Amino acid sequence: MEKLLKELQAAELERQTRRYFLQTLGAGIGSLGFGSLLSSCGYFEKDKVASAPLQLADAMGVRLPQFAPKAKQVIYIHMAGAPSQLELFDYKPELEKYHGKDCPAEFLEGKKFAFIKGVPKMLGPKGKFAQHGQSGAWISDYLPYLQTVADDVSFVKAMYTDQFNHAPAQLLMHTGSARLGRSSMGAWTVYGLGSENKNLPGFIVLASGGKQPDAGKSVWGSGFLPTVYQGVQCRTGGDPVLYVSDPQGMNRDIRKQTIEAINEINKQAYEEVKDPEILTRISQYEMAFRMQMSVPEVMDVSKEPQYILDMYGVKPGEGSFAMNCLLARKLVENGVRFVQLFDWGWDTHGTSEDGSVEIGLHKKCQASDQSVTALLKDLKMRGLLDETLVVWGGEFGRTPMQENRDGQVLPYSGRDHHLEAFTVWMAGGGVKKGFSIGETDPLGYYGVKDRTHVHDLQATILHLMGFNHEKFTYPFQGRNFRLTDVAGKVIRPILA
């Protein structure tokens, strides 16, 4: 009841603001001028306001894509910090020969690095590589489980980006821009396709590793899209979503009446000011109420067979990356359109044992390899892999040189951030099996064949979901925006 009174007080105070005054000025000059300004900012437009109730009612309903999709849902696994491709997938025997030698001048002249100063030494790969599966994919001994599903995976080996710092690079990867304010890939996907389960958010985020991504929650934000499409972060311990349980002393009927009363106030406010975000808020309150029953049930793994828990390496009641992988399968199985997994701690500069490519990176692989592979096998076993696109990668690559922070030799082997080359792999939903595209030079510095940009990856994901990335747009601030900004091309050779 106290919260309801606060809602009433907040609504009354809002009516006393300058914005409310200008919005409610009949045909006055202030109303015309301010209305034009809001329209140009995408705040509201006359045509949109007229159809807003219909848009809200169908905001999360299933919608048809622009053409027949190959995938129905996406599981995007982001290893925040950027794993070294040279230890995992991009085998460079020539780099072993150059180990300990001065870095070639052409790798340094006119280049910018996050931390390297002067002339660093070359660093040979720490993983032991071998070819696996009928495809002959090169995968190191850091990932023994992934080796067993090599023929289900396609590698994109000459990916490049524009950003060498974590936060802007993560923003670019997930929103198409290194600056704050753009809509995330998951938000775009749900905006375009809606959700198959009205009791669950269409876009759910699961984070592990003890910290959030460097770019914060903006990497799953809605940006300029209606906020109903932003990612909902769930926890793997306690309540999956904070405050999803009924407060002590309040039963479900009272909770329902409270939400209905709040939404009645919101509807009255919408009728007066026609702000579409009020409709979004109504939708979110209603979704939150439905989630009270659906989310705890979906996030409960206690009914999973023991062999499934063992396959993933899950310990019930313990939040972990392995748990998140299992939950990702359960979520897509229940109609969630886009599941985003973030795992922090893949930044290996060589400044510490945990931050080294010979120890820290190996530990991170040991903690994730089994569960990622189990996810692929589990999806395949249930007939879900063909309709679920799984993407794995970081925000940029690592240099073939040993990092020498401030020109000093570091105590462990590490690699600096690298723009020019990194590896992302994809599986399921419309991509070829056991395929590899892209090639880097003998030392793994530059992409020399079939280079692909971050925008190309985004264009490909949208294509697999049934959208032409150039025509999938949203009007904002006077122009049509898209996930891929003004660039990007579909990586067609990887399509099945």
**CA–CA separation, 124 vs 128, rounded Å?**
11
pLDDT score of 29 more than 50: no
> Are the C-beta atoms of residues 52 and 279 closer than 8 Å to each other?
yes
**For a pLDDT cut of 90, what percent of the chain falls above it?**
67
pLDDT at 457: 98
Local confidence band at 97 (pLDDT 50, 70, 90 cut-offs): very high
At residue 466, what are phi and psi to the nearest 5 degrees?
100, 25
- Cβ neighbours of 67 (radius 10 Å): 9
Phi, psi of 257 (to 5 degrees): -65, -35
Of residues 121 and 35, the one with the higher pLDDT is 121
Cβ-count burial 139-164 (b if 16+ within 10 Å, e if not): bbebbebbbebbebbbbbbbbbbebb
**pLDDT value for 294:** 67
Looking at residues 229-252, what average pLDDT do you find? 69
pLDDT digits (tens, 9 = 90+) for 76-96: 999 999 999 999 999 999 999
The pLDDT mean for the chain works out to 86
- Rounded mean pLDDT, 410-429: 96
Per-residue tokens: 199? 């009791």
Mean pLDDT of 109-122: 92
pLDDT at 5 over 80: no
Q: How confident is the model at residue 246 (pLDDT cuts 50, 70, 90)?
A: low
* 195 vs 217, more confident: 217
For residue 15, pLDDT over 90 is answered with no
Question: Please, which pLDDT band fits residue 345 given cuts at 50, 70 and 90?
Answer: very high
Residue type, 175: T
Written as six digits, the tokens of 127 are: 């993983």
Distances (CA, A) of 496 to 154, 221, 312, 335, 434: 10, 31, 28, 24, 11
Domains for the chain: give ranges and CATH numbers.
73-237+316-494 (3.40.720.10)
> Which residue carries 């509201």 as its tokens?
44
Q: For residues 304 and 325, what is the distance between their CA atoms, to the nearest angstrom?
A: 13
Give residue-wise pLDDT tens across range 187-200: 999 999 998 888 88
Looking up tokens 């590793």, which residue turns up?
209
Task: Please give the pLDDT value at position 22.
Answer: 54
Least confident window among 9-18, 40-49, 191-200, 241-250: 40-49
pLDDT band at 299 (very low <50, low <70, confident <90, very high): confident
Neighbours of 462 (CB within 10 A): 27
Q: How confident is the model at residue 55 (pLDDT cuts 50, 70, 90)?
A: very low
Place of tokens 């027949």: 68
34 pLDDT more than 50: no
Q: What is the mean pLDDT of residues 12-35?
A: 51
Quick check: 328 and 375 in contact, CB under 8 A? Answer: yes
pLDDT at 44: 36
Q: State yes or no: pLDDT of 156 exceeds 70.
A: yes
- How large is the average pLDDT for residues 403-411? 86
Tell me the per-residue pLDDT of 253-293, one tens digit each, with 9 for 90 and over.
666 677 777 777 877 777 777 777 777 666 666 666 566 66
Q: Average the pLDDT over 221-241 and give the result.
A: 82
**What single-letter amino acid sits at 378?**
D
For residue 345, report the phi and psi dihedrals to the nearest 5 degrees.
115, 20
| Euclidean distance between CA atoms 85 and 94, whole angstroms | 15
State the DSSP H helix or E strand holding residue 239, giving kind and residue range, or none if neither: none
Give 113-181 as a DSSP string: -SSB-S-PBB----SPEEEETTTTEEEETT-HHHHTTGGGEEEEEEEE-S--SHHHHHHHHHHSSSSTT
Give the model's pLDDT for residue 287.
63
Helices 321-333 and 360-381, axial angle in degrees (round to 10) = 20
Confidence at residue 302, expressed as pLDDT on a 0 to 100 scale: 87
